[in-house]
Amino acid sequence: MALLDIDKLSAFYGKAQALQDVSLSIAEGDIVALIGTNGAGKSTLLDSIMGQVTVSGDIRLKGESLVGKPTSKIVAAGVGYAPERANLFAHMSVRNNLLVGAYTARDNIADNLSRVENLFPVLAERAGQETSTQSGGERQMVSIGRALMTNPSILLVDEPTIGLAPKVFNDIAEALRRLNAETGLTILITEQNVNFALTLARHIHVMETGRIRVSGTADELREDAALAEAYFGH
Amino acid sequence: MTQILIQGFLLSGLYALIAVGFTLIFSVGRVLNLAYGAYLVIGGYAYFWLSQTLGMPKIVGVLLAIVLGAVIGISKYRLIVKPLKGDHVAVEISTLILAVVVQAGIVLLFGDASKILHPIVSGVSRVGGATVTYNILTAAVVSWVILIGLYLFVRFTHLGRALEAVSMDVKGAAISGVDPDQMNQLTWAISGALGALAGVFFASYTQLYPGMWVTPLIIAVAVVIVGGIGSILGTLLVAHIIGFMEVISTSLIAAELRGVFTMLLIIVVLIIRPKGLFGRAEL
């Protein structure tokens, strides 16, 4: 059984349909990337999983449907989310941002905090700094760290490289790779940066105008010349 | 001078207590609760009825008034604010109408004549030539204790941090596992409880009458606008600025000027520093 199953999912902003019949499964321990241009529906798919968008169809985590649940229950069920805009608490310290993430996982605070600070040592060094004064890369780390503090079974990361320098997004890629290798945490990322996605993910889904157009392993997609030309520009 | 200092501190403590519940609602729910003054009226009249009409012990009267304020706060959130789903203008109009309805209900139940509340704590002392009633001293001390407690609660507890998180970023709080709806409900309960308690002290400091919601509302709005939206420390500091300004103007210039400088200060701050002196959109 897959860890996360998405079945014929459609999503709506008012009368506008943003996703159409999206189906995909994510196995436990996998790293999966959704790639596509702006407006392809990647962020909407993650927001749908988090219960932030009106949807039809089904989303199941370990067989349990998440549709209709409030976001806080979805987090408690085991979905951690680092959104594209981070949505940090700008005038709280780094440490307090992380501690808010522990709201539903208070039994594991010390372990989770240690895991986050081991992954991103800069967050321990700047524990007292307000996130409003941090760089984009550090804010991305706080965002991922806060999601990890919820003790998730699956981590959703929306566009982790957007607006970041190559050195920083390589660090973040390395951290996500380490996280997956050391703890077996399942990771779903969205990306416009195809090379980043290909180097990190094992399975890739290409999205266009609210639908999944192509799916395959990173190797399959990389070796398919027609697909590479159509979607990756090389 | 001693009289001004002491009266300034005592009145400021009461003003901080009046304003803090209003500040909480504004920062967590982004709602300008124009019916906030109604909590004070309800708290004052509940205490009057329970303690002076029914003869219950004063502390029981105060506690039941606080509980009533919390229940009314939750009811207001669930029956008016939540169904209006963030339509701020509709919420503001509805809460203003509610305050007028509460005033009419009070007139119906208790009549429109002013009532004198017995002091919650009786007695008077003279400190450095200044007269200090134990009632206003208690109000000030209770206010400081509550504000410090509230500050520590927000800074050092999971629930307090969750409240602060909702005040800064609702989506960020939700994806951290915090239920913004629960936090809003809690905030309305705390605000109602604090408003009712402030009403008991305010009425015993001035008088109890059906229209007494207007003055506290102006004080609360002034503290929030001058202090900046949502800052607990800002609330405490600005309550002292306004409290001292009132005591100085009424003692040294003319008693008729009560409230005038407060309203002028609102206008000046709105023009030169719209975010308030300590303005940041969080607790």
Give per-residue pLDDT as tens, A106-147: 988 999 999 999 999 999 999 999 999 999 899 999 999 999
* Domain map (residue ranges) of chain A: 4-232
Whether residues A101 and B177 touch (CB distance < 8 A) is answered with yes
- A183 to each of A98, A103, A177, B154, how far by Cα in Å? 19, 21, 10, 33
Please give the residue that has the higher pLDDT: either B189 or B9: B189
Query: Any idea of the CA torsion for B234, B238, B239, B243, to the nearest 10 degrees?
Result: 170
Quick check: A76 and B161 CB within 8 A? no
pLDDT digits (tens, 9 = 90+) for A32-53: 999 988 889 999 999 999 999 9
- Place B282 in a pLDDT band, splitting at 50, 70 and 90: very low
How many residues are given for chain A? 234
Average pLDDT in the B86-115 region?
Answer: 88
Among A213-227, B105-119, B159-173, which stretch is predicted with the lowest mean pLDDT?
A213-227
On average, the pLDDT of chain B sits at 87
**pLDDT tens digits along A183-214:** 999 999 999 888 888 889 999 999 999 999 98
Q: Does A103 touch chain B (CB under 8 A)?
A: yes
In this structure, is the dihedral angle defined by the CA atoms of residues A42, A46, A49 and A50, taken in order, positive or negative?
A: negative
CB A88 within 8 A of CB A146: yes
pLDDT digits (tens, 9 = 90+) for B136-158: 888 889 888 988 898 899 888 99
User: What's the pLDDT score for residue B220?
Assistant: 85
Asked if B11 and B246 touch (Cβ cutoff 8 Å), the reply is yes
CA distance B71 to B48: 18
User: Does B87 lie at the interface with A, CB-CB under 8 angstroms?
Assistant: no
Q: Determine contact, residues A30/A18, Cβ cutoff 8 Å.
A: no
Name which of A87, A89, A104 is nearest B177 (Cβ-Cβ).
Answer: A104
Is the pLDDT at B281 greater than 60? The verdict is no
Q: B91-128 in b/e burial notation, b at 16+ Cβ within 10 A? A: bbebbbebbeebbeebeeebeeeebebebbeeeeeeee
Nearest to A160 by CA among A147, A173, A148, A151: A173
Residue B116 has pLDDT above 60, yes or no: yes
Q: How confident is the model at residue B40 (pLDDT cuts 50, 70, 90)?
A: very high
Whether B34 shows a pLDDT value over 70: the answer reads yes
Band the pLDDT of B173: cuts 50, 70, 90. Answer: very high
Which residues make Cβ contacts (< 8 Å) with residue B75, sequence separation at least 6?
none
| CATH 3.40.50.300 at A4-232, yes or no | yes
Note the helical H segments in B121-255: 134-156, 158-168, 170-174, 180-205, 214-227, 232-248
Of the candidates A72, A90, A91, which has its C-beta nearest B179's C-beta?
A: A72
B169 CB neighbours in chain A (<8 A) are: 87-90
B280 touches chain A (CB under 8 A): yes
Best of B176, B231, B278, B282 to disrupt the A interface by mutation (most A CBs within 10 Å)? B176
Give the closest of A71, A96, A149 to B174, CB-based. A71
Query: Residue A150: what residue type?
Result: T
Contact A92 B164 (CB under 8 A): yes
Q: Which structure tokens are listed for A201?
A: 């993910």
B70-73, long-range: CB < 8 A, 24+ apart: B70/B189, B70/B190, B70/B192, B70/B193, B70/B196, B71/B189, B71/B192, B72/B39, B72/B42, B72/B192, B72/B196, B73/B39, B73/B188, B73/B189, B73/B190, B73/B191, B73/B192, B73/B193, B73/B195
pLDDT of residue B275: 74
User: Which candidate in A43, A72, A74, A108 is best for mutational testing of the B interface (most B CBs within 10 A)?
Assistant: A72
Closest partner CB to B172 (pick from A70, A88, A99): A88
CB contact under 8 A, A75 and B169: no
Over residues B209-252, the pLDDT tens digits come to: 998 888 888 888 888 888 766 677 778 888 888 888 888 888 88
Res. A233 pLDDT band, cuts 50 70 90: low
Residues 47-66 of A with CB under 8 A from B: 50, 52
Q: How far apart are CA A133 and CA B11, in angstroms?
A: 38
Q: What is the mean pLDDT of chain A?
A: 91
Q: Establish if B85 touches chain A: CB-CB under 8 angstroms.
A: no
Q: Which residues fall within 8 angstroms of residue B9, CB to CB, at 6 or more apart?
A: B140, B240, B243
Residue B260 has pLDDT above 90, yes or no: no
Question: What torsion, rounded to 10 degrees, do the Cα atoms B235, B236, B238, B241 define?
Answer: 160
pLDDT above 70 covers a percentage of chain B that reads 96
